[in-house]
Structure 1
Amino acid sequence: MELLLETVALFCLKLAYETEGSSPILRDDPVMSDYEREVFGLLVRREDVVTIQLKVDECVGLALQAIGGVDKPLGRELRRLSTEFAGIQTMEQLDAPLIALKDYLKDIL
């Protein structure tokens, strides 16, 4: 799950900060420091669903701004998927909405 969380964060930050012609954002980029696999791993081991959701929401918020907000079709769908993820109560329920979020972000990159 840690890798999946890190991937969602990476895709969001790529949408928010990568520009054409610049160096790509990679997993070891300083902008990823708060969203590294180890950070998520600690939260997963603690089963801290709320903090995981907050961290993902931070990244999704940046991605939403980059794609024009919830007034745009891409933004509406991203908000819908992130709202579904935010509504999860247990660690066991996180996988499916997280995979949907990752897949959507990958598609719009």
Structure 2
Amino acid sequence: MELLLETVALYSLKLAYETEGHSPILRDDPLMGGCDREVFGLLVRKGDTGEIRNKVNHCLELALQAVGGAGTALGRELDRLAADFSAARTMDRFEDPLVALKGYLKDAQ
């Protein structure tokens, strides 16, 4: 779960901040802030679904802004997928929306 959370955060931040011709954003980039595997691992062990949702949603909001907001074709789909993730209230319900987000964000790059 931690790797999947980190990957969604990474792809979101890549979409928001990575520019052509510059160094790519990597997992150990300071830009990742508190969205790395170790932080997510701690939150998963604590069962802190609210904080996990907050961290991922923050990254998704940045990605949504990067694609032009919810009014664009890319933004509408990202917004829908983000809403599916936000609706998940338990850890076991996170996986399907996260897999969908990961695939979408990877393709959007």
Please, what is the CA RMSD of the aligned residues? Answer: 0.6
The residue aligned with 1:12 is 12
Equivalent residues in 2 for 1:1-109 (5 A)?
Answer: 1-109=1-109
CA deviations on 1:33-64 (whole Å, 9 max, x unpaired) are 21110000011001111111111110000001
Look up the SS of the partner of 1:54 in the other structure.
Answer: helix
Distance 1:79 1:49 in 2: 20
Question: Which runs of no fewer than 5 residues in structure 2 stay unpaired?
Answer: none
Length-normalised TM-score, structure 2: 0.98
How many residue pairs align between the two structures? 109
Question: Which runs of no fewer than 5 residues in structure 1 stay unpaired?
Answer: none
Q: In percent, how many aligned pairs have the same letter?
A: 62
After TM superposition, where is structure 1 displaced by more than 6 Å over at least 4 residues in a row? none
